[in-house]
Structure 1
Amino acid sequence: MAATPRTDLRNVLDTSRALITTLQEPNGAYPASPSFSAYRGYCWLRDGAFIADGVSAVGAIDSATAFFDWCQRVIVRYEDRIGEIVAAAAAGDPLADEAMLPARFTFSGELGHDEWWDFQLDGYGTWLWAADAHARRHGLDPRRWRRGAELTVDYLLSSWQRPCFDWWEEHDEHVHISTLGCVAAGLRAAADGSLIGLDRASDARATADAVVDEILTRGVSDGHLVKWVGAKTVDASLSAVIAPLGVFASDSHITERTLAAVERELCVQDGVHRFRADTFYGGGRWPLLSCFLGLAHAARGDRERARQLLDWAVSTVSEEGTLPEQVDGHLLFPDRRAEWVERWGDVANPLLWSHAMVLRLAAQLDEFEHTPDVTEGQASA
């Protein structure tokens, strides 16, 4: 497809930053989508961490800092529960999935009352990684989030080997490779930065290495990362393990083979499906996944391919300037779309995660020229 004109790209980027920072709750929580029925009123640790990373990369310093402050408060609020989880795991009698921490919280940091596929570990690693990246990017002191980071590390050390739901709230019977990647990235960041003290750093670093060994031992087929332990196929979330999470070197053989598999199996005209068996809203292509794939290509030095993927993501913008969760066209299972529309209404639009990933990839490609707000820089110093 033809490159997006700079003026059109700039409009989408400016709208994306303004939308995210305007819709952010006063306490720092990011709504996944302000209008989509199943997401309304909730903030996900995973989505929120990637949203914060996106706005951090384009200079919205206070916005990202406020989100990590929110994470800190939420995690500390459940300190006693984390203690119970850690103690039970150490005793060899781990708590049931229903007693584990959820993937999403209400804006006020409470547990949700709606039935959901909640036990996911990826968000806990992702917020650690994103907080460290934000602090490094802007010269901030990450020790303001220390207690929340320490509790999160304890939680991950005790539970990282457990099967849980994946990024997409599916298949809790498996250990998912993108989840392990998020855990490894978070533990590495915590160990190598100042999020946690030295007393935990060595354990965090050793466990991060063990997680990577697990991925390489049980999460690879035909030279590429796979969807879950024992699988043969890929999931588009694996692109994030390469970039921005940086679990594997951009020039490694496993990176090359993984990106080739994602391109071959999941990418259609620069739009990226989640996985081949996806029936959610018929299995469309996700702008945020094109951006993750673009970040991985950019990390390998292929800026041209990264820009093509960014252009496709930007092309999904609505007349109102909003970006959706996924788009129609080239649906994997078109006969399954109607059941989801009947259940939850039209596809989520706007999805803040989509807007954030466009910002993040544009920043990586030096397409977002910005100067941090003076008040932001002063407030967060």
Structure 2
Amino acid sequence: MNNKAYLIDGVIGNSKLLLSMHKNGQVSRMWWPSIDLYQHADEISDGVYVEDARDMLWRNEGEWEYSQGYIKDTNILKSKALHLKYNIEIESIDFCTLRQDIVVKKYIIKNNSSKGLDLKFIFKSGFAIKDSIKFNSLYFDKENDALVHYKQDCVLAVGSSEEISEYTVSNVKDQAELGKLNGDDTAQGTEGALLFELNQVDSGEERVITIFITPGRNKEDALRLLQNAKKLKAEKLYCDTEKYWNEYLNKANNIDIIDDGLQNLYKRSLLAIALMYNKETGGFLAAPEFDEYITKSGGYGFCWPRDGAFIANAMLKAGYENMSKNFYEWAVNVQEKEGFWDQRYYMSGLKAPTWGVQIDETASVVWGMNEYYKQTGDNEFIKYIWDSVYKAAEFLCNSIDSETNLPIPTMDLWEERKGEHTYSCAAVEAGLRGAANIAKELGYNEYEKKWRICSEKIKESIEYNLWNSARQSFYRGVKLIINRDEYDKLKGSNEKVYYCLRDGKYDEYLKYYDDVVDVSLLGISYPFKTLEDTNEKMIKQGEAVEKYLWVNKVGGIKRYENDAYIGGNPWILTTLWLAIHYSNVGNREKAQKLVEWAVEHRTYLDLLPEQIDKESGEIAWVVPLAWSHAMFILSMLEIYDN
């Protein structure tokens, strides 16, 4: 499989299909039957052959000028490419239908030159089915006038509503360069091509070609879907898709956002999250996977329960109660038998690769369930989730360090260090408080009392034992696990460090106080409300976050002091976190400036990345990140809907 760029420009999909795309209109990755599994695209490209000049113009190569944008209020992507030498324009309109799993690629090829040109359009379908080039095969189905790619139980049919002039399943590039496909009809391989004779295209004239890609578990299903697409035609499919996305946005709660840029980004956030939501299972994808070979990260194409809780809460407050409810029902189904939720999962509910339990994942889900109930008053919902809440709350209660009255050491929310982290403690406090509220509603008074006492002890310990007066900030945590070298370096200093045996056999070294300022400390008040935003210590905490984490050169808030991940850049969601804090303490001016920074660093398609490069101010890492969009939605609701 070809190596792919980390950064993409646009995404389209329908909750089962998900495609990431570049500005030149090329498909980078394509997932089906779930938005996290499997990825099938190798190289899918297109272009025109200029017969008079014997010149093949691939749209993703050479002298083109590109522009791209979403059709207003939809997830339909329009990409334009103008060839600078021949003045030929290729416009593609790409979308996935909602009723059926059909990828539609409508091409409008226009001759903008001053003379007529004899043109051919070539579409190259390169698929590495199920993430691999191994054991792929394809053939041309003459009866259905389509290429059929297949491996095991995955079949991808590629056809058109226009008659195909020529085809091949071998040596695609070489044949395309000659403007002639040889008609080879069966091969073990990944690449095929379709050619359409456009003939003489006069100056100012255009031709339309529509390509359909239809997946299926077998060739009959894929080809049946292809024939349905041909019968319905691109215009009907386009209108239905446009109507669906317009109606989806109409379900959102109205908020008073006067600024068009903010309004557009709010709508795009709702639309982007819809693409990263699996309607069948209820899971939310963190981001369309872009680092599948784990070169710089542990991968993003999974559902983190904590991210999911933030996203579900944002969608709940935005008016999409069913999406939020479905997520929590998904959570009930994937919960571990011990009562906790692990680091991350596939959309199906199967456990994804993990490197450590994060107790805030479990706490965030229970907190979110209570938030859903508080807004909806859905008694059937809390009856349904009760067993799950009970198991989770008991797990949390049994995970308390008797010395500190805080949750025992686990991984932090950034998945980098182990200790008793203040953010995680606040999450657990809120989770237990939420569980107690649910127990009270259902009449389980014994559990309400037990869990509320436990949460109150955590709250007291956070407020009175974790405050660092020297830095006017909460400690990031206590009992931070460190390595032997750091222990030896700190031993004998003013730092409190100590050694112990874990499980009676493994050396473990701890630094008692972790005094690094971390943006997640804002979580004590938002969203968890362990302390009120207006608590004097929380006001000081917000000031410390701005003082120590503001990036002077390009602006924005980084995660914590001396952050090294992808260079230690400012993040969109961290900056919005501080914006929400300032809004909640009454400093609307500062809140708006931080929101403006986030808006200024959106992509040209109104998608929000995870990070911004600290030197250049350019997009630095994954696009789009669902958590970034969720925080933008929440910031709009907190700042403009109050």
- Could you say whether these structures have the same fold, taking a TM-score greater than 0.5 normalized by the shorter chain as the test? yes
Query: 1:32: how far off?
Result: 0.6
Could you tell me which of 358, 364, 367 is aligned with 2:638? 364
The residue that corresponds to 2:286 in the other structure is 32
Partner of 1:212: 459
> Does 2:488 match 1:227?
no
Residue 539 (structure 2) aligned to one of 237, 256, 260: 256
Letter in 1 for 2:526: A
Greater shift, 186-195 or 55-64, is seen at 186-195
Shift of 1:71: 0.9
SS in 1 for 2:410: coil
SS of residue in 2 equivalent to 1:104? coil
Among all aligned residue pairs of Structure 1 and Structure 2, give the percentage whose two residues are the same amino acid: 26
State the Cα distance separating 1:148 from its structure 2 match.
1.1
Equivalent residue, structure 1, for 2:437? 192
Distance verdict in 2 for CA 1:264–1:357, change over 3 Å: same
Structure 1 Cα separation of the partners of residues 300 and 571 of structure 2: 20
The one-letter code sitting in structure 2 at the alignment partner of 1:105 is Y
Contact 2:273–2:626 (8 Å) recurs in 1: yes
Residue in 2 that maps onto 1:165: 411
1:122 CA displacement = 0.6
Residue in structure 1 matched with residue 304 of structure 2 by the alignment: 44
Matched, 1:18 2:256: no
- Residues 233-255 of structure 1 show CA distances to partners (whole Å, capped at 9, x for unaligned) of 31101112211211112221211
Q: CA deviation at 1:217?
A: 4.0
Gapped regions of structure 2 (runs ≥ 5): 1-256, 292-297, 401-406, 479-512
State which drifts further: 285-294 or 260-269. 260-269
Q: What TM-score does the superposition give when structure 2 sets the normalisation length?
A: 0.49
**Which residue of the partner structure matches residue 260 of structure 2?**
7
Question: Which has the larger helix fraction?
Answer: 1
* CA spacing shift, 1:249–1:101, aligned 2, 3 Å: closer
User: 2:377 matched to 1:139?
Assistant: yes
Q: Could you tell me which runs of 5 or more consecutive residues in structure 1 were left unpaired when the two chains were aligned.
A: 83-99, 335-345, 369-381
The 1-side partners of 2:534 and 2:301 are apart by 41
- Cα distance in 2 between the residues matched to 1:315 and 1:309: 10
Mapping of residues 85-104 of structure 1, within 5 Å: 102-104=342-344
AA partner of residue 586 (structure 2): G
- Structure possessing the higher radius of gyration over alpha carbons: 2
SS in 2 for 1:175: strand
Q: Which residue pairs with 1:374 in the alignment?
A: none
1:308 correspondence with 2:593: yes
Q: Is the 8 A contact 1:43 1:105 kept in 2?
A: yes
Distance 2:372 2:277 in 1: 17
Counterpart CA distance in 2 for 1:266 and 1:5 is 30
AA partner of residue 12 (structure 1) = L
SS at match of 2:323: helix
The structure with more strand, counted as a fraction of residues: 2
Is 1:291–2:588 an aligned residue pair? no
- Structure 2: how far apart are the matches of 1:309 and 1:273? 13
Structure 1: how far apart are the matches of 2:334 and 2:425? 22
2:324 matched to which residue of 1?
A: 64
Task: Give how far 1:129 is off.
Answer: 1.4
Contact 2:334 2:341 in 1 (8 A): no
Q: Equivalent of 1:126, from 364, 371, 381?
A: 364
CA RMSD of aligned residues (A): 2.3
| Cα separation, 1, equivalents of 2:289 and 2:434 | 34
Give the number of the structure with larger relative contact order, counting CA–CA contacts within 8 Å between residues 6 or more apart.
1
Contact 2:341 2:361 in 1 (8 A): no
CA contact (8 A) 1:21 1:63 kept: no
Q: 2:276·2:287 contact (CA, 8 Å) conserved in 1?
A: no
Q: In structure 1, give the amino acid aligned to 2:608.
A: L
Task: Classify 1:250/1:323 alpha carbon distance in 2 versus 1 (closer, same or farther; 3 Å).
Answer: same
Contact 2:413 2:424 in 1 (8 A): yes
Q: Which residue of 1 aligns with 2:422?
A: 177
